[in-house]
Structures are given as structure tokens and as C-alpha cells.
A and B are shown apart, each in its own frame.
Chain A
Amino acid sequence: MSSKRTGIITKEELVEKKLLPSMERLSNGPIAILECPEEIPCNICVSACPFNAISKSRIYEVPRLNPDKCIGCGVCVGKCPGLAIFVVDLSKPGKAYVTLPYEMLPSPSKGARVELLDREGRVIGEGTVVKAWVYEKTWVVTVEVPGDLWFDVRAVRIVR
């Protein structure tokens, strides 16, 4: 079913909109996934990227990511007003690192245990925060998750 009906974006939609990096690029190290499939008049990600890896030729185009320029730094994760950008790193065997925006309480910290939530808010596992920094009150949190969950984990709930 289309994300317009469910609010849940699918892998197929991301592929169709050319928003999902290749598996080859994903396994080479961290890279941003721009989960922004609609033509929103916004170019914050374009000016946010320190490496000019994101482009739009008109303000309302779907953003384009250059996989060669993106180093997965996560600056865009904290700046995207839609909280729609994630960074995935599949370079370590069996493990995945997912970097996601977080604007809830409690504040995250390195080593914190988290419940891993999928796009419907279902708990699909547990993970650990390996890195967390904040930009204008939006936390950018990297969690270590089981390798096969790299596409599914899109939010966390911090275990108090």
C-alpha cells in the first residue's frame, strides 16, 4: 500500500524515487538515506551538507544524493525539518549502525540501552547508543543494531 495511505514509506518507494543507495555503497561505509519521497518546497538538506552531496535543481524537487560525495557524517540528520534523513553503515560484518533524529525525552547518551522501533512504532529489538550529539535540540543518535534490521529501525525509545 502506498505511503500516502499508511504513513509508512516502503523500500520499493525509495527505490522507485532513487532514494535508496546501492547495497554495494551501503556496505562501503556510512551513507545518508533521504526518506523524502514528495516534492516538498524545501532545500534545507542541500545547504546543510558540508560536502555538497545533496542537490536539487528546483526547490521542490525530491533531493538527490551523490553517493560518492556523502561520507555519512549525519549533519543533515539533525537539520532536516522533516526528520526524514537517516544514516546507515553496513561496513562491519553482522552489525548495522543506524543514525536517526530524536526529539523525545529522556535525552540520549553513549551507552544507553534503547528499544528499537520500526516504521510503525513496533519494538523489534534492543540496541545500544554508540554516539549521540545534538543540533538545535534535535539529537542525532547512532545505534548499533543487528545487521538484518538496518532498513527497519527508524526510531528508538530510551530505556530509563
Chain B
Amino acid sequence: MLDYRIYEHPIIDFKRGRLIKFTYNGNIIEAYEGESILASLYALGYRVFSRSPDGSRPRGAFCMIGKCSSCLSYVNSVPNTRICIEPVRDGINVVSGDGIPEPPANISSASVRKEIVDTDVLVIGAGPAGLQAALKLGEKGVDVVLVTDHFRLGGQLVKQTHKFFGDTRYYGGVRGFKIAEKLVNELKKYSTIKTYTRAFAYGFFGEGYMGIAVQGEEPVNLLVKPRYTIIATGATERMILFENNDLPGVMGAGGAQTLMNEYGVRPGENALVVGSGNVGLIVAYQLLQAGVRVHGIIEIMREIGGWIVHAAKVRRYGVPILTGHTITRVEGAEKVEKAIVAAVDDKLNPIQGSEKEYSVDLVLLAVGLQPNYALLSQMGATMKYIPEAGGLVPVRTKYMETSIPGVFVAGDLTGIEEATTAFIEGEIAAYTILERMGFTDVITERDRLVDFLWNEYRMSPVISRARQGKLKATVTEEEMEKLRKGIDI
């Protein structure tokens, strides 16, 4: 029997839950509690999880965090279920998606219980920014509702196996997944923090209600009415254009990290990484640790995008980095078997005749991230398109308040950066809310953090682009007041 699970790893001890069984397209699947449906299937060699609307093109795992549509399947007859963030359970019946499904026939929505919750602060997103914010609010005994669409807390921290850079005060030197463990354990100390997993914030309604669909044995339509809101919904991986880019085996770099670092499932045997930013360099190193052969890292620009220390790590193990190259095509029947790479000219166009072929089953895209702005945009917050920030981001003050009074933001949603600044932004937002609630003792620390963030941390030349992006999105209190009145600034 094929088994792609990793049993020996230099960094992670995978603790698997009890063995459970479910059916997939009529076959009995053995899985471990704590796995996602997709991870369990991937471990057994399944690579195609759905098909394109006309049924002709296979689709595989791509984002693995519930943001793309490649794994939409039926779970107990419910169509369009994202099996990458759906936990395995005993006896469920899973059927792969095949084009656009019929509406579900036998499911009654009348049984969904409605619950109305009044709270001081609603925090949406349980990654570094959301967790840190919730903890700082919890420390002061404030009522917090913390929601995440995953069945596990921690956001993308759970798959970060490298030790974090930065400052020891913000978990520098600690591996990402260890930070997640620590923060999640700390949450338990505060009885005023109510946490909901598998909880999808689907929209903002009149009279200040946020609608949250909580999945599970007993689904709940949670209507939360908070005094303050912190939105920390993170970011999603970008796609780039090349022939057959929807073929299973073309995967986001973070998708591969989810498989190998969160679930202990090897994403492939032979990989090619596209993009030499820190994400691409780090994922290449982690692939080596998981026993995957990395044939190279492809970079369209003339220089490596990420830090030299990360590049040096993979070069030492013989992974070539091809700058001035791009991927033009992948080939394969139902999954990637080959990738074609070409050198590019000064206008970044592929040079005819320079093509190289790689026999790989995995092409990982590490070509940038895009903030998850949809919810905030739906709420009516003023947004701005800022290329250096990764796309459309909320305009906010240095205290992280948006154009909607009382609605704050933190982390990658505010512009792509990294975890240290997400922790700090989460704290700044939480402290500002605490100040409004009368906890004036936090002001000094909040202002110290704002100063550290802007006048020290972000002054580093290696993150100047991210700083530029954040700078362009940040306005003064006076400018924000004008925006709120509809006056252009």
C-alpha cells in the first residue's frame, strides 16, 4: 500500500491520533484523527480531488488552507466542501467533486441553531496577529470571541518549522509551530476568551452583527455583536500563468508546508520550486528535510528575492537557484510529470531554445501572497491598492484602526510582511481597544511598540519594500477623520 506519511523527521515528532475509517468514492480509507480529509487521501496516493466545471480537467491540492477551489468535494452529500480544512471523522462519506454540483437535495437548513452573542471584542483569524491580540485582551479580563475557519488554531504558524528571526520578546529563535503551541496553551488561561474553530465569518450585517457559520456536529449560525472587532484574516497564495498550471502537482508552497509539516505527509518525490523569496527558499529547505529531492529553484528576476542566509542553506545541499528563468509549462496525464523552464530576456519573456526539462511530480509556486481583504471590503472599509503590500489593503491609522470606527486590522491582511510584525500589530490593535475601554495603563507599552515597529524594526533595508507598502496604507488620525466624512485626502 502506498503511504506518503513521514515517520522520521529531523525537526517534528508527528503524533498521530487514533485510527479511523471513512469512505472515499466508495473505497474504505484509513486515516488518523487530527488529519484533514485531503491530507489522509494524499497520504494514500490520491492526487486528483475534483474536476473543472466541464469535467474535463483534473484538480489537485493547491492552497491547503481553504482559500482556493481545487478540492471542492461532497462530504456526507454536502457539495463544495473544502476537504483541505475538513477534519476526518469516523464513518463520513466523501465523494470527489466533479464540475458544478446540483444543489443539495436532502439537507435541511431549518435545523441550524441561531445564537446571538454580545461581546467586547470579536477577533477573526487565529494566526499570529489574532492570537496575540486575543491574549492581550484576555489578560485584562475582556470578553473576546475568537474565530477561525480551520479546525485547529494557529493559522500558518503551525507549519513553520524554522526558528523565527527577530527579537526574543516576539518569539525570535523559536520554531513557528512551537509558538503556536505556546499561544494556544496560553489561551486556555483566560476564561473570558471564547474560541470557535471551523467558524466562517460570512458577512457583516445591520446593527453591527457579524454572521459566523460554525460547522460541526451541531452547526450554529452565530451572530456576534461586538463593541470592537479585530480582523486578522491573513493572506492567500498567488497563482501565475503558464500552460497546465491547474494540473495536480502544481501547488502553493504553503500547501506543501501544510502537507509535510502539519500532517506529516510527503507532498511528492521530485520537486521544482518557483520563486526565490524567503517562502520559496524556506520551503525548498523543508522539502529536503522531508526527504524530497529538490531539483532547483526558479527565479525570474536577476537576483535572489529572499535573504542570503536562507539561500545559502539550500545551496549547501546542492540545490541550484536559477535566476533569470521562468516556468513555461507543465505536462502530465492527470498529474505533473514534467516541468519546462526557460531563461528570460530583459523584458522577462522566455527565450526560445533555452528550454530545460525537469522530471518532477511537484511544482511549488512561491510567487507571493495576496491579503484576504474580502470580509473587510464587504464591511465597507476604505481600501487602497498598494503593489508593495501585495494588493488591496485596508487604509488604517498607526494604531491599526480602519475607516470603520472600532474595526481594527493586524497581520498579513494589512499588507504582506511576516510573523514578528503580525504579533506586534495584533498587540497594538488590542492595546488601542483596551485604551478605549479605560485601561490607560497600556498606552505607554502600545506607543513603545509603535515606535519600535516603525523607527527600528522596519528600518531594516531587507524589508524596505514591505515597509513602503505599510507606509502607503497608514494615515494620520486627521486624515482618517476626513476619509470617514467622505473627503479625499
CA distance A4 to B288 in the complex (A): 22
- Binary flags per residue of A44-64, CB closer than 8 Å to B gives 1, else 0: 100110000000001110000
A-B contact count (CB 8 A): 138
Given A81-B172, A105-B8, A117-B317, A9 contacting B308 (CB threshold 8 A): yes
Q: Residues of A contacting B316 with CB < 8 Å?
A: 117-121, 154-155
A41:B420 contact, CB within 8 angstroms: yes
Determine whether A149 belongs to the interface, using a CB cutoff of 8 Å to chain B.
no
Known interface pairs A103-B11, A119-B315, A154-B316; A41-B463 also in contact (CB < 8 Å):
yes
What residues on A are CB-neighbors of B313 within 8 Å?
A: 82-83
Distance of A16 from chain B, by nearest CB (Å):
13
**A59–B460 contact, CB under 8 A?**
yes
A138 x B321 contact (CB < 8 A): no
Near B by CB (< 8 A), chain A positions 20-74 give: 35-44, 47-48, 58-60
Contact B303 A136 (CB under 8 A): no
Cα distance A121–B164 in the bound complex, in angstroms: 25
Minimum CB distance partner of B164 in chain A: A81
Contact present for A44 and B168 (CB under 8 Å): yes
A105, B290: Cα distance in complex, Å: 9
Output the nearest chain B residue to A48 by Cβ-Cβ distance.
Answer: B173
Residues of A within 8 A of B317 (CB): 104, 117, 121, 155
Given contacts A47-B168, A81-B164, contact A37 B308 (CB under 8 A): yes
Query: A36 with B309: in contact, given A5-B302, A6-B315, A121-B317 (CB under 8 Å)?
Result: yes
| B318 to chain A: closest residue by CB | A121
Output the least CB separation between B282 and chain A (Å).
11
A44-B162 Cα distance, complex, nearest whole Å: 14
Asked if B10 contacts A42 (CB within 8 A), the reply is no
Q: Which residues of B contact A81 (CB under 8 A)?
A: 162-165, 172-173
Closest to A107 in B: B10
Residues of chain B within 8 A (CB-CB) of A119 are 312, 315-316
- Does chain A have a CB within 8 A of B457? yes
* Bound Cα distance from A6 to B310, whole angstroms: 12
From 102 to 160 in chain A, residues with beta carbon under 8 angstroms from any chain B beta carbon are: 103-105, 107, 117-122, 136-138, 154-155
Interface size on A, as a range, is 35 or more
Docked complex Cα distance between A5 and B320 (Å)? 11
Q: How far is the CA of A60 from the CA of B458 in the complex (A)?
A: 9
Contact A39 B173 (CB under 8 A): no
> Is A94's CB within 8 Å of the partner chain B?
no
Q: How far is the CA of A105 from the CA of B8 in the complex (A)?
A: 8
Central interface residue in A41, A48, A59, by most chain B CB within 10 Å: A41
Bound CA–CA A120/B315 (angstroms): 5
Smallest CB separation, A141 vs chain B (Å): 12
Task: Report the minimum CB–CB distance from B137 to chain A (whole Å).
Answer: 26
Cα distance A50–B10 in the bound complex, in angstroms:
26
Alpha-carbon distance A8/B460, docked complex (angstroms)? 22
Q: Does A7 count as interface, using CB distance less than 8 angstroms?
A: yes
Given the known A-B contacts A103-B11, A104-B288, are A4 and B308 also in contact in the complex, defined by CB atoms under 8 Å?
Answer: yes
Which residue of B167, B172, B307 contacts A38 across the interface (Cβ within 8 Å)? Answer: B307
Q: Evaluate contact between A120 and B318: CB separation under 8 angstroms.
A: yes
User: In the bound complex, what is the Cα–Cα distance between A104 and B290 (angstroms)?
Assistant: 9
Residues of B within 8 A of A107 (CB): 10
A37 to B309, CA, bound (A): 8
Chain A hits for B461, CB < 8 A? 38-39, 60
Look across to chain B and name the residue whose beta carbon is closest to the beta carbon of A137: B11
A residues 80-106 in Cβ contact with B at 8 Å: 81-84, 103-105
B164 near A41 (CB under 8 angstroms)? no
- Quick check: is B117 within 8 A (CB to CB) of the other chain? no
- Residue from the list B166, B302, B311, B460 in contact with A7, Cβ < 8 A: B311
Answer whether residue B471 sits at the interface, using C-beta atoms and an 8 A cutoff: no
Query: Within B1-36, which residues are at the interface with A (CB < 8 Å)?
Result: 8-11
- B321–A105 CB distance below 8 A: no
Complex contact B310–A82 (CB within 8 A): yes
A38 engages B462 (CB within 8 Å): yes
Contact pick for A82, options B303, B307, B315, CB 8 Å: B307
Instruction: Count chain A CB atoms within 10 A of each CB in B10, B173, B174, B307 and give the residue with the most.
Output: B173
Q: Which A residues touch B10, using CB under 8 A?
A: 103-105, 107, 137
Q: CB-CB contacts of B282-320 with A at 8 A, as 1s and 0s?
A: 000000110100000000001110011111111111110
How far, in angstroms, from A39 to B467 measured CA to CA in the complex? 14
Interface check B175, CB cutoff 8 A: yes
Q: Which partner residue on chain A sits nearest B459 by CB separation?
A: A60
The reply to whether B173 and A60 contact each other, CB–CB distance below 8 Å, is no
| Chain B, range 164-188, C-beta contacts under 8 Å to A | 164-168, 172-175
A115 to chain B, nearest CB (A): 11
Specify the chain B residue showing the minimal Cβ separation from A36.
Answer: B309
The docked-state distance in angstroms from the alpha carbon of A72 to that of B291 is: 32
**CB–CB B318/A122 < 8 A:** yes
B11 touches A35 (CB 8 A): no
Residues on A with beta carbons closer than 8 Å to the beta carbon of B460: 39-41, 59-60
Q: Is B323 an interface residue (CB 8 A)?
A: yes
Q: Could you show 29 A-B contacts with beta carbons less than 8 Å apart?
A: A4-B304, A5-B303, A5-B304, A6-B315, A35-B309, A35-B312, A36-B309, A38-B309, A38-B462, A39-B460, A41-B166, A41-B420, A42-B166, A43-B172, A44-B163, A47-B173, A59-B456, A59-B457, A81-B162, A81-B164, A82-B310, A83-B309, A103-B289, A104-B317, A105-B9, A121-B316, A121-B317, A121-B319, A122-B318
Q: In the A-B complex, list the 8 residue pairs whose CB atoms are closest, starting with the nearest.
A: A121-B318, A7-B311, A82-B309, A60-B460, A81-B163, A155-B316, A42-B165, A41-B460
Which residues of B are at the interface with A, using a C-beta cutoff of 8 A? 8-11, 162-168, 172-175, 288-289, 291, 302-304, 307-319, 321, 323, 420, 456-463
Known A37-B308, A81-B164, A81-B165; 8 more pairs at CB < 8 Å: A7-B304, A7-B315, A38-B461, A40-B307, A79-B163, A104-B288, A120-B315, A154-B312
